[in-house]
Structure 1
């Protein structure tokens, strides 16, 4: 979603010594961050938990309309997917007891027997077919429609069997079933609710460890434990889970410190110091797929020239960026697909080697950057970077890019847009007129190196805003998507990445560690970014 290591044990202590903003100042004091995939397991049940949603109130909890932090944080505890996403970004069976790649263009899903919706109705193959087919309906405009782009048919082929056939092989499809593309809803309830399904007035009907109990628009969403949940080992430990909408960082921090709110994912970066010192709870840092980038959105002009993108990349000191914007809780990243995406793959070593071979531009090189600008001889040297109004971290990001541009002979104007207008940039070319770059965050909500790349590098793809077109990249990405052998797919992906990575279609600045705060009375929540596609709240209970 457009918003490198395997951990040998449950936690890894990292000591990061960062320099000042210019890249040449006196080193800042070393910060030590312990990355952990999980928090200590809960020892018992709790009556209630209050959780903050810093991104605000979800527009919908319908899985087909779930595509952001708030909706995923709540909705994945309600509507389960066919596969489960584990804390290391590997997958395991969920509502499907098995998913099999029968051949290059056929996937067979075995629906788990004995699962019931909250209303007591049994989960059927028909429900699975209905839920998956919804993503093919252009009238619904599902956020997951791109996942089904190569799907030819979805049919019930047995009492508890569903078969998906493809026009062309798609090896990313099965991992995608661990996220909202694989979420299952009850057909009968959804068809009756129609357009209201997933809203405060229409409700939901799913199988998860919690059920939707109430939704007070502008205030809170309340979940109640599903005492008849099919997986006894993952029965929710909290009787009630209440989500409140707190978008102001200062208000949120005060609520965490006072105990008014028990927990949050995405704790404010600016409050890291205060949250690490408080006795009210603990701030955890986990491995993540979240990235901060400058995305080139122009099909012509300076941003469409890879030399200008490379120059801007070389002009920004990534270590200083991590220190100033992420407060040290992150690390420079070489490309837009972070290593956690493939950490659960059997071909992990191939991906790791390919990532290691990419050029390392973490340190600024102003001399090389200025030479690239000279070589490019752009028709204009004024650039515009857009970001959503009110996002202080992205404003800092844009300000750093602005200063870097000035150091290499370019100028950059910062344009703040209302959130809805900014979101429209991603899909409406007309809204991108007059804009060269966007400052943005993004994340992968499912595992797989192929989740991001095709959308950025293939001709005509949704996020290929610069009209990038390299035949060798296209050939290798196509081969990676089509390969049934994980190692062969990884080798093809790495070959493509070696070409498009240095082109800096996205100037990826850093990976941001997941920031989880828990009040001292609760524990159990996953600390890795896997929460974004898992029923994480069921694990939260008494500390």
Structure 2
């Protein structure tokens, strides 16, 4: 959706008021074997995927953590929508549901979020939860927190989640009821992420526009409080001594986030022990960190994807045959090994299987995904036939990439080479972050481009958090004006079906039709890459960290 600060295009997943549903975000392992525990620096370079690191055995005084994607603009959950902000805010402000390392959900600030009928969700709140100042979290706080996402003046990044909401009301001392204009079964899962975060109404109201800024901070219920925020340098969190859940109390007395975006500087800081850990290990420093005895690199399942997206409804890339040809011409296995350094695997479509891994209808989703055409190996002959059939009036295309992002530049270079083999000319144009970001909101800014290279992620469970934005008319990412009656019907059916199997069957039926159109030329998913200094352990290794209070689990490693 909106661009992140990491790639200025990575937030292909937020802020989408689509027609009816919420938006926004596997396969053959490349040099990997699935399951297991940590990466053990195996001599053969193979990667083992794990959900979490060993549990901490004790507390530590301090942890220093690197944010490679820059300083967050705000700690207000409503303004949280990228890697840096999520990494911090999830440890301050808690959600109604708790995202687990396997991308399933568990009770959080709510003991249950229940879909009572197609247009009614009842939230049962946990008793005895307090904010940092000792005041009790109430149903009024929950109503306020959820409703503020619907305020157009606030322009919440989670606004799309509430697009179908008709009302949010307190219906009991510890109960809140959400009613919908039209059914929206994705809503419950969305409460495990930033959209379901709760803040102190009195504090936020008094702070006004300064809520979440360095001068004011936030007031929430999480395992850490805001210690200090030195703009341009660091944000330090302090353990919440009165945290309501003793079993998940923070193990670090202080947790300092430092902003380090240069790959070489970051790698050196990790190798020297100056920095204890990082999510998003720089690919350039990966080999050195894996060889190091200072700490361990862990790899986990993720929802992060690399894609090339068509920029408009005109030009060569607007023709699905040209997109299909490019998809067939790019060897996804080579992409995963060369660009991702073996830390990823080809993906058949833009919704990765991890998002439905905890669903009761997982088998239905898996079967639907498995039935999709596997284009991980290049097929130039088939690709050339598609180009000949399309016979584009223009054989030159322009691809936009964010300046400074080496992995996306490499992606673009591979696409350029593939296009050349098809008799197409692909010109790469690097844009500065602000300019690149406008592509996601302004059709006029995209007019000069045929394709946009992006990374994206989905931060909560549910197959319906991403697809509607690409396939429904009016979807924020439906830049080709794609429209298929059967797809629309099945997506709307999936959105309204409260039975998990019925919803999954409708989604799979829609996916079967839209996936071949390559509305995104999805190349691969990237594994989550975590580095931990050997003195520490406890952090989740999967991408679940993006929506969970992960830092509270980081503590002393077993000697």
TM-score bin, normalised by smaller chain:
over 0.9
Contact 2:113–2:121 (Cα < 8 Å) also in 1: yes
Within-5 A mapping of 1:350-429: 350-429=364-443
Per the alignment, residue 276 of structure 2 pairs with: 262
Q: 1:490 aligns with which of 504, 524, 536?
A: 504
The alignment status of 1:191 with 2:201, answered yes or no, reads no
The 3 A distance-change label for structure 1 pair 77 and 15 is closer
Per the alignment, residue 303 of structure 1 pairs with: 317
The alignment status of 1:289 with 2:303, answered yes or no, reads yes
- State the alpha-carbon separation in 1 of the partners of residues 39 and 236 from structure 2: 36
- State the alpha-carbon separation in 2 of the partners of residues 324 and 8 from structure 1: 20
The alignment status of 1:236 with 2:250, answered yes or no, reads yes
Greater shift, 2-11 or 498-507, is seen at 2-11
Contact 2:98–2:107 (Cα < 8 Å) also in 1: yes
So what's the TM-score if we normalise by structure 2?
0.93
Query: For residues 102-156 of structure 1, what are the alpha-carbon distances to aligned partners after superposition, in whole Å with 9 as ceiling and x for unaligned?
Result: 1110000011110000011100000000000011111111111111111000011
- State the alpha-carbon separation in 1 of the partners of residues 284 and 452 from structure 2: 22
Regions of 4+ moved over 3 Å: 5-16
Deviation at 1:14, TM superposition (A): 12
The alignment status of 1:116 with 2:126, answered yes or no, reads no
Per the alignment, residue 18 of structure 2 pairs with: none
Deviation at 1:15, TM superposition (A): 13
Within-5 A mapping of 1:15-414: 31-414=45-428
Deviation at 1:10, TM superposition (A): 4.8
Contact 1:309–1:503 (Cα < 8 Å) also in 2: yes
Deviation at 1:260, TM superposition (A): 0.4
Greater shift, 114-123 or 193-202, is seen at 193-202
So what's the TM-score if we normalise by structure 1?
0.96
SS at match of 2:270: helix
The 3 A distance-change label for structure 1 pair 98 and 128 is same
Query: For residues 218-259 of structure 1, what are the alpha-carbon distances to aligned partners after superposition, in whole Å with 9 as ceiling and x for unaligned?
Result: 000000000100010000000000000000111100000000
Q: 2:552 aligns with which of 530, 538, 541?
A: 538
Contact 1:14–1:32 (Cα < 8 Å) also in 2: no
Contact 2:36–2:48 (Cα < 8 Å) also in 1: no
- State the alpha-carbon separation in 2 of the partners of residues 407 and 182 from structure 1: 48
Q: 1:520 aligns with which of 534, 538, 548?
A: 534
Deviation at 1:100, TM superposition (A): 1.1
Greater shift, 474-483 or 29-38, is seen at 29-38
- State the alpha-carbon separation in 2 of the partners of residues 14 and 478 from structure 1: 45
Q: Which 5+ residue runs of structure 1 have no aligned equivalent?
A: 17-28
Contact 1:10–1:38 (Cα < 8 Å) also in 2: no
Deviation at 1:11, TM superposition (A): 3.9
- State the alpha-carbon separation in 2 of the partners of residues 12 and 381 from structure 1: 47
Matched residue count: 531
Query: For residues 473-508 of structure 1, what are the alpha-carbon distances to aligned partners after superposition, in whole Å with 9 as ceiling and x for unaligned?
Result: 000000000001000000000000001001000000
Q: Which 5+ residue runs of structure 2 have no aligned equivalent?
A: 1-10, 14-25
Per the alignment, residue 2 of structure 1 pairs with: 12
SS at match of 1:215: strand
Root mean square deviation of aligned Cα: 1.7
Q: 1:439 aligns with which of 450, 453, 462?
A: 453
- State the alpha-carbon separation in 2 of the partners of residues 149 and 45 from structure 1: 42
